[in-house]
Amino acid sequence: MQVRTSLVGTTQNDTNEGGRRKTRGDDRTTGCAVEATLSVIGGRWKGVVLFHLLKGKKRFGELRRHLPNCTQRMLTLQLRELEEDGLVKRTVFPEIPPRVEYELTPFGRSVEPILVGMRDWGEKYKARL
């Protein structure tokens, strides 16, 4: 397997048995759908980004304000991965300075029940503490 680090993250130039490129969410090795889900929406920031995008389109600066502990680089990486996985749509407007908006795709909206359930569970957990 050859791994190349680019400016936006790590990409794998690797194929599986079927000759297709491996991607996040590829659960063919273990067959675990939970692993596939967590590989796409897991991590510290992706779920939070997706949750804020449930309310509608957001610009990068708006997302940064919602995630004050997330670095600009990390937010950029997470948004690019979510876009690559088809959950987030990035729209660049041809203006000076350029305006960029992020929104959920229809596929991205399909994670809403999961995110709302996570929020509800988190509220119950915080109340327990």
Q: pLDDT tens for the chain, 129 residues: list them.
A: 343 333 444 444 444 444 445 566 665 667 788 888 888 998 899 999 999 999 999 999 999 999 999 999 999 999 999 999 999 999 999 999 889 999 999 999 999 999 999 999 999 999 998
Name the residue among 63, 61, 62 with its Cα closest to residue 46: 63
Sequence letter at residue 112: E
What pLDDT, on a 0 to 100 scale, did the predictor assign at position 17?
A: 46
Give the per-residue pLDDT at 90. 97
* Residue 35: closest CA among 47, 45, 24: 24
3-state DSSP helix/strand/coil percent for the chain, to nearest 5?
45, 20, 35
Q: Looking at the whole model, is its pTM more than 0.85?
A: no
pLDDT for residue 51: 97
Whether the CB-CB separation of 47 and 38 falls below 8 Å is answered with no
Q: What is the pLDDT of residue 20?
A: 47
